[in-house]
Amino acid sequence: MKPADLTRLHSLGTPSLSPDGAWAVFALTRPDLDKDTYVGGLWTVPTDGSQSPRPLTRGEHDSGPVHSPDGRWIAFLRPDADDRVQIHLLPVDGGEPWKATDHPLGAADPAWSPDSTRLAYTARVPDQGRYAGTEPAKEAPRRITTLKYRIDGLGFLRDRPRHVFVTAPLDPEAAPGAPVQVTGARADHGAPAWTPDGSELLFSASLHEEADTDLVADVWACAPEEGARPRRLTHGRIGTEGPAPDPGGTTVFFPGAALGDDLRDFVGRTPGLWRVPLEGGRGPVRLTDEEDGPHVQQSLQVLDDGVLLLADRRGAVHLLRVPLDGGEPQTLLGGPVQAQSFDHRAGVTVAVVADGRSSGELVRVGPEGASPLTSLAELDPYPVTELTAHTPDGHPVHGWVAVPGDRGPHPVVLMIHGGPFAPYGHQVFDETQVLVEAGYAVVLCNPRGSSGYGQAHARAIIGDVGRVSATDLLAFLDAALADERLDADRVGVMGGSHGGYMTTWMAAHHGERFRAAVPERALTSVDSFEGSSDIGSLFPHPLYGPEEDWARQSPLAYADRIDIPTLIIHSEQDWRCPVEQAQRLYLRLRRRREDTELLLFPGEGHELSRSGLPSHRVARFEAVLDWWGRHL
């Protein structure tokens, strides 16, 4: 894969099955360098594998399809003439889509009522005079009185809270009726789900008085009508998201994680599956083990005999069924894969699954395994080989090595993932493929702090992040370098976000092991991160400990030790690890060394390498390859 081959990668959105399970609809998206954007539309495919997928819509930015329960309609998202993403409706039996919402900041998260007559959804409601018709630089000043007031990739929050709405009865032959705003609290509300009888909506939100200083998000229920008074189903001690009711309408299931006594201790907490009675009166019960149980992801679907969910485990993401009363999960789709999304209807289950050959294909999941319904991959990726190393004290470190096809020895790039509570895993990774194509061996692993290896593994770095993580990274690197195809004298290190933190740490503390470094969107100084990051008010203490320990754990404090060429990559609009983190490191290094460079991307946020402009992603790849070409 060369940098421009980014356009040959694809992504599939969450599939939606027809009520009879016979057809699946999904969004297919690819980067487009000519238009410098991501283009795609809705596609459909029969679930019996009898036909190839075919396009369903002609829009270039259609996404998020959801079938109505009666099978007549597909709700989906499409930008309108003013480039605001609105909910549109497509008749399943033929005809043109029509726009069902008209919000100044767009709409999202459509959910059909059980009788297929209305849609619940979310939309941001701007304060008067904000985000509509006025140049941003000429808007009135913002009076900020909270700690949580902005977020990377979106911007300011408090002057455009996300509310739950319900449409008037839908009729394509009549003018759309005014929607009802169900929620009113000045806070963000999560995606809604209907109860089976249509009498209430379920959503997650932080509506308690202390919401600005903790990480609690409760499950709420309210009637689908204007001015409804929400009632809290959980007890204010869990971070919840994505509630879903059981078919009988008596129990609500949701993924969530405990937050410790101070309600802010989130680091390495394994999200699990919980349930709570819909009528209230009893607290939530956790159904999966907190220490070594599955790391439950957000999407749930509740069936008569269990809850379908995705779970992160050792670099894989499996599709599981958990019994309604808890107990041992059943693996429906396992192995070296990463399931990304799924749907189930009428006894049929489909899932989007990535592996070492593809960035994601739609498959039908059955007792015999997975049957492919799409074959969209355009690349022939280099294989990666699993490896488990051990630290001097015997701790296992799991990861992968990718090597170009010829004998070598090849220069080596140690890649470090972000998070830190995240994993590398089983799927085609563009970073790896571009480097291997250019002749580099790539070493990537999941050191302590990573998710998917149990809670003790994830929380082991608290208060000593750099040292513990480096121990694991170096042990894995040494094990990989035992392969004679890898050149131990030509090794570079790179990573983004927490990976950028660790790249800077490694350059300062173990610089003799590396020829050069590329820290990207890095946290370098914990103290200034606290005040400048969108998550700074709650992130540093649980991970790095008390303030008196922050300097010891800040890579910037050791910048004078860095004696290898360093390319610092950052985005100008990054609010997660703000650009001052890069600027301070650049200044400290550039004063001492001419072989220091700073590459800044205008208009981009923290997610540049994953969802930035295609042209910027290609330019980033080219800059990285140029840097390694000069120094490895």
In-domain check, residue 297:
yes
Residue ending a domain, among 372, 399, 419, is: 372
Q: Where does the pLDDT of residue 124 fall: very low under 50, low under 70, confident under 90, or very high at 90 and above?
A: very high
Whole-number Å distance between alpha carbons of 312 and 332: 14
Residue ending a domain, among 372, 404, 438, is: 372
Whole-number Å distance between alpha carbons of 191 and 299: 11
Whole-number Å distance between alpha carbons of 310 and 303: 15
- What is the pLDDT at residue 197? 97
Query: Do 293 and 393 fall into the same domain?
Result: no
| pLDDT at 175 exceeding the cut of 90 | no
Query: Do 415 and 364 fall into the same domain?
Result: no
User: Quick one: DSSP state of residue 405?
Assistant: S
Whole-number Å distance between alpha carbons of 544 and 583: 22
Mean pLDDT for the chain? 95
Sign of dihedral through CA atoms 20, 23, 25, 26? Answer: positive
In-domain check, residue 92:
no
Query: Do 344 and 391 fall into the same domain?
Result: no
Q: What percent of the chain has pLDDT over 90?
A: 92
| pLDDT at 173 exceeding the cut of 80 | no
- What is the pLDDT at residue 134? 72
Query: Do 443 and 533 fall into the same domain?
Result: yes
What is the arithmetic mean of pLDDT over 460-483?
98
| pLDDT at 174 exceeding the cut of 90 | no
- Domain extent, residue 308, equals 97-372
β-strand pairing of 63-67 with 338-345: unpaired
Query: Do 358 and 396 fall into the same domain?
Result: no
In-domain check, residue 102:
yes
Query: Do 203 and 342 fall into the same domain?
Result: yes
Sign of dihedral through CA atoms 577, 579, 580, 586? Answer: positive
Cis amide leading into 614 (omega within 30): no
What does the pLDDT look like over 239-257, one tens digit per residue? 999 999 999 999 999 999 9
Whole-number Å distance between alpha carbons of 236 and 210: 10
In-domain check, residue 222:
yes
What is the arithmetic mean of pLDDT over 413-433?
96
What is the arithmetic mean of pLDDT over 82-95?
93
- What is the pLDDT at residue 236? 86
| pLDDT at 176 exceeding the cut of 90 | no
Residue ending a domain, among 323, 340, 372, is: 372
Query: Do 236 and 301 fall into the same domain?
Result: yes
What does the pLDDT look like over 337-360, one tens digit per residue? 999 999 999 999 999 999 999 999
| pLDDT at 227 exceeding the cut of 90 | no
> What CATH number should be reported for the domain holding residue 615?
3.40.50.1820
Q: Where does the pLDDT of residue 110 fall: very low under 50, low under 70, confident under 90, or very high at 90 and above?
A: very high
Please check whether residue 312 is in contact with residue 295, taking contact to mean a CB–CB distance below 8 angstroms.
yes
Query: Do 357 and 403 fall into the same domain?
Result: no
- What is the pLDDT at residue 436? 98
> What CATH number should be reported for the domain holding residue 348?
2.120.10.30
- What is the pLDDT at residue 456? 95
- What is the pLDDT at residue 233? 96
In-domain check, residue 377:
no
- What is the pLDDT at residue 521? 98
Query: Do 409 and 346 fall into the same domain?
Result: no
Which residues contact residue 8 at a Cβ distance below 8 angstroms, ignoring those fewer than 6 apart? Answer: 1, 30, 378, 379
Please check whether residue 582 is in contact with residue 567, taking contact to mean a CB–CB distance below 8 angstroms.
no
Whole-number Å distance between alpha carbons of 512 and 510: 5
Query: Do 109 and 252 fall into the same domain?
Result: yes
Query: Do 352 and 424 fall into the same domain?
Result: no
- What is the pLDDT at residue 282? 86
In-domain check, residue 25:
no
In-domain check, residue 51:
no
- What is the pLDDT at residue 565? 98
| Chain Cα centroid distance, residue 495 | 17
What is the arithmetic mean of pLDDT over 572-576?
97
In-domain check, residue 15:
no
- What is the pLDDT at residue 368? 85
Query: Do 204 and 162 fall into the same domain?
Result: yes
- The token duo for 416 is 């470090």
- What is the pLDDT at residue 534? 96
Please check whether residue 253 is in contact with residue 227, taking contact to mean a CB–CB distance below 8 angstroms.
no
Number of domains, the chain: 2
Cα–Cα distances in angstroms (integers) from residue 293 to residues 208, 276, 332, 456, 595, in the given order: 29, 19, 16, 12, 47
Q: Where does the pLDDT of residue 29 fall: very low under 50, low under 70, confident under 90, or very high at 90 and above?
A: very high
